[in-house]
Amino acid sequence: MNRNECFGRRDDASHLLVCTACRTDARIAGAWKGLRLNEPLEPADERFVGAVLRSVRRDRAAARRRRLIAAVAAAALFSFFAGLAHETAAAPEDETYASLSAPSALAELLPN
């Protein structure tokens, strides 16, 4: 149900427990009432602002480093599989069929 379909009374507390749209409207209205727009803002402490900026820069550098490591790992994995596919394609077909018919080393370990 959305706000347009709601026929309940928005000032009724029991209705706000049931209707999510009206509850959201009531919360937003309460937040706007609690916000004091005419009150002057206090100046922020320069040391605090500097510490926050350093922390944000450090987090961005760490995220950049993680993305770079992930890209390098993906490129290495891609090149490994590309090389493996190239080796498989370059192998003569006789060897591949021979390896299918030859018993594996694990076959000797299995009981009959």
**What secondary structure does DSSP assign to 44-77, as a single string?**
PPHHHHHHHHHHHHHHHHHHHHHHHHHHHHHHHH
* Tens place of pLDDT per residue across the chain (112 aa): 555 567 666 567 777 778 888 888 888 888 888 777 777 778 889 999 999 999 999 999 999 999 999 999 999 999 998 888 877 776 666 555 556 666 666 667 666 6
Q: Quote the CA–CA distance of 77 and 21 in Å, as a whole number.
A: 49
A 10 A CB-CB count for 22 gives: 20
CA 53 to chain centroid, in Å, comes to: 24
Q: What pLDDT, on a 0 to 100 scale, did the predictor assign at position 91? A: 61
Q: What pLDDT, on a 0 to 100 scale, did the predictor assign at position 90? A: 67
Distances (CA, A) of 15 to 9, 27, 54, 57, 91: 7, 14, 47, 47, 74
Q: What pLDDT, on a 0 to 100 scale, did the predictor assign at position 100? A: 65
0.85 exceeded by pTM: no
Q: What pLDDT, on a 0 to 100 scale, did the predictor assign at position 99? A: 64
Q: What pLDDT, on a 0 to 100 scale, did the predictor assign at position 35? A: 78
